Chains A and B, each alone.
Chain A
Amino acid sequence: MKAPLKVSLDEILNNCLDRLLAQKASLAECLAAYPEQRAALEPLLQVATLTAAAVPQDPSPAFVSATRSRLLTALAQKRAARQRPRLILRPLALRLAAALVALLLVLTSCLVVSADSLPDSPLYPVKLAAEQVQIWLAPDAEARAQLHLQFVQRRFQEAQDLLQQGKSLQQPVLQTLNNEAEQARAEINQLRAEQAQLLRQRYADLLAAQRAALTQLQASAPAEMQANLGETIGILDQVQQQVRQDILAGGPPTPTPSNPAIPPSPSATTGQPSPPTNPPTEPAKPTVPATPVPVSPTVPRPAPPENTPTPTPTPVPLTVLPTATPLPVVTPTQPGSPLPTPHRVPGQTPTRPSTPTAVPPSPRPPTPTMTPTPPSSPLPSPTPLSGNQ
């Protein structure tokens, strides 16, 4: 019963206060309006009147004026500060741009410095990463293949540089070299026939030049480096052999498995230097085969590079069995041959099928071995290259 009364008194008191504070009614008028609540209301309204009378007067005009000036000054500063962020942003943008330029400079410097780095350098991974990016950014397969050729050359050059500095080639270095050589070959094999042949020829020339350089290095290298050099040359020979095969076949006869992880070179086992295919003073000339050589009587394929002085290209029917392709090799008596290949790598044993122990003579004239032969008769070769078929 008390609660409703209290709520009611709250309401009545509030109404009276509204009228009193707004000076719309006097205390007596309020009490007269609620005679039943007079006893409860009167003391409360008296206190309310007392409280209202105790409210301080308005602030002095001096204070109001001084504070207004102070506020407007602060407001002007704040307004100026609001415009300042644009000015602050500009240096901020400049700083950001400077930081970006610095970052680009650092990255560029890293790339430039890493370009000359060798596998034992901490920047070498940067170099490899940059190459990988180049591969990714290459517009087509041909560009990728050309890049891979470039990188193969680099890998061999790095190996030579390390060896020249008297440093041994660790397994990861040889593995990288091997992988790069394989990737280049695989990339070339995915191209159209003419493009592929062109790049294979370049690849072969490149390998020949590297072979010559390594052989020269091997001749003067101390004994402890011979094993490393032999391994490197072994890899090179193997790739060279495969590329040569591809050239003859106009493409890989069958998908060639990756080289076994850095097969130990026969040279490495014996420590004997392999004879150079080309003398270092006479680098191989990239030659585009001028004479199309049909691989089979029905399917004409580009022939191996022709070095004959005959002005008119003469198709030389050449039958190459896709399953057993003996590799014709240019003899060393023909400098400038497009396929400079060692006759024989000393120390290579026939127990390793993937590594040819000897290279067949050149398929080109003047020997009668290049004459068309029945498909069933392989070209004469000392050792059939069964490992890559």
Chain B
Amino acid sequence: MHDDEETLVRLAQQYDPQAFGQLYERYVAKIYRYIAFRVGGGPDAEDLTAEVFLKAMEAIDSYRWQGVPFSSWLLRIAHNWMVDYLRRKKRHGEVALEDYHRPPDKDMALLIDQAMTRQEVLTAVAKLTEAQQQVVALRFAAGCSIREAAAIMGKTEGAVKSLQHNALFTLRRLLADYQRAQSEESHESTSESVSGRNPE
């Protein structure tokens, strides 16, 4: 059992099954969460996770230790795979600029109280820009520090912090919009049922 990641990676590069197995055990959950957060979990997330590790195994010869965690390399592979996957599935969503700058609603606490489902949050996340989605997935799902996220995304820490801020701001608005729409639908259906009970 090797704790030193660099040693583990070097052994894995020699196709040492124990070392590669150890790296896999160490990072499979992180990679899975990152992917599942973007694609919504299920068999697709599992398949993509397995593909990421297979791809990593194929390309491990080309990996050069540069002092950053091995998981950064895995997350980059995961990101590329996922982008391809999402492109194929045409599940990539963009947020309109005019919506992005709308002022926030006041009743965010209400949203939490109403216990939005996980899927609704993920649907809202999918409407962020690609960079915003990536930073949210890295920070919240993969548990990366801002430094690691910056390294994976190839940006400065300041840029990633700003991106993170904007992502949460937009996400909050999207969720508020969703909640408002749900409320309106609920109100309309209630009105319809009331008017149905008291016809003129």
With known contacts A13-B164, A46-B109, A18–B49 Cβ distance under 8 A: no
A82:B25 contact, CB within 8 angstroms: no
Report the Cα distance A13→B168, complex, angstroms. 10
Report the Cα distance A11→B24, complex, angstroms. 33
A78:B171 contact, CB within 8 angstroms: no
Report the Cα distance A13→B169, complex, angstroms. 11
Mask: chain B, 125-162; 1 = CB below 8 Å from A; 0 = not = 10000000000100111010110000000000010011
* Residue of chain B at shortest CB distance from A63: B46
Report the Cα distance A55→B46, complex, angstroms. 15
A79:B15 contact, CB within 8 angstroms: yes
A18:B145 contact, CB within 8 angstroms: yes
B45 interfacial contact with A, CB 8 Å:
yes
Mask: chain B, 35-48; 1 = CB below 8 Å from A; 0 = not = 01100010001100
* Residue of chain A at shortest CB distance from B170: A47
Point out the residue from A10, A72, A78 that lies within 8 Å of B164, measured CB to CB: A10
Mask: chain B, 102-118; 1 = CB below 8 Å from A; 0 = not = 00100011011000101
With known contacts A55-B140, A68-B25, A47–B168 Cβ distance under 8 A: yes
A133 interfacial contact with B, CB 8 Å:
no
* Residue of chain B at shortest CB distance from A69: B21
B36:A82 contact, CB within 8 angstroms: no
Point out the residue from A11, A71, A74 that lies within 8 Å of B161, measured CB to CB: A11
Number of B residues whose C-beta is below 8 Å from A? Answer: 48
A324 interfacial contact with B, CB 8 Å:
no
B121 interfacial contact with A, CB 8 Å:
yes
A110 interfacial contact with B, CB 8 Å:
no
Report the Cα distance A70→B45, complex, angstroms. 16
B50 interfacial contact with A, CB 8 Å:
yes
* Residue of chain A at shortest CB distance from B164: A14
B139:A21 contact, CB within 8 angstroms: yes
Which residues from A are CB-within-8-Å of B32? 56, 58-59, 63
A59:B175 contact, CB within 8 angstroms: no
Report the Cα distance A72→B20, complex, angstroms. 8
Q: Which of A165-219 contact B (CB under 8 A)?
A: none
Number of A residues whose C-beta is below 8 Å from B? Answer: 39
Which residues from A are CB-within-8-Å of B168? 13, 44, 47-48, 51
B162:A43 contact, CB within 8 angstroms: no
A47:B175 contact, CB within 8 angstroms: yes
B15:A54 contact, CB within 8 angstroms: no
A17:B175 contact, CB within 8 angstroms: no
Report the Cα distance A71→B31, complex, angstroms. 15
Q: Which of B21, B109, B172 has the most CB of A within 10 A?
A: B172
B175:A50 contact, CB within 8 angstroms: yes
B24:A10 contact, CB within 8 angstroms: no
B17:A72 contact, CB within 8 angstroms: yes
Which residues from A are CB-within-8-Å of B165? 6, 9-10, 13-14, 44
At the interface, is chain B mostly helix, strand, loop or mixed?
A: helix
A55:B141 contact, CB within 8 angstroms: yes
Q: From residue B189, how far is it (CB to closest CB) to chain A in Å?
A: 25
B79 interfacial contact with A, CB 8 Å:
no
Report the Cα distance A15→B25, complex, angstroms. 29
Q: From residue B53, how far is it (CB to closest CB) to chain A in Å?
A: 5
B95 interfacial contact with A, CB 8 Å:
no
Which residues from B are CB-within-8-Å of A114? none
* Residue of chain A at shortest CB distance from B31: A59
Q: From residue B16, how far is it (CB to closest CB) to chain A in Å?
A: 9
B57:A55 contact, CB within 8 angstroms: no
Which residues from B are CB-within-8-Å of A79? 15
A323 interfacial contact with B, CB 8 Å:
no
Which residues from A are CB-within-8-Å of B49? 59, 63, 67
Q: From residue B82, how far is it (CB to closest CB) to chain A in Å?
A: 14
Q: From residue A68, how far is it (CB to closest CB) to chain B in Å?
A: 6
Q: From residue B11, how far is it (CB to closest CB) to chain A in Å?
A: 12
Q: From residue A26, how far is it (CB to closest CB) to chain B in Å?
A: 14
Point out the residue from A55, A58, A71 that lies within 8 Å of B20, measured CB to CB: A71
B45:A56 contact, CB within 8 angstroms: yes
Report the Cα distance A78→B116, complex, angstroms. 46
The 4 closest A-B pairs by CB, nearest first: A54-B121, A56-B36, A79-B15, A10-B161
A47-B175, A55-B33, A67-B49 known, 10 other contacts, Cβ within 8 Å? A10-B158, A13-B165, A13-B168, A46-B108, A46-B112, A47-B108, A50-B112, A56-B45, A70-B54, A78-B58
Instruction: Show the binding face of A for B, using Cβ within 8 Å.
Output: 6-7, 9-11, 13-14, 17-18, 21, 42-44, 46-56, 58-59, 63-64, 67-68, 70-72, 74-76, 78-79, 82
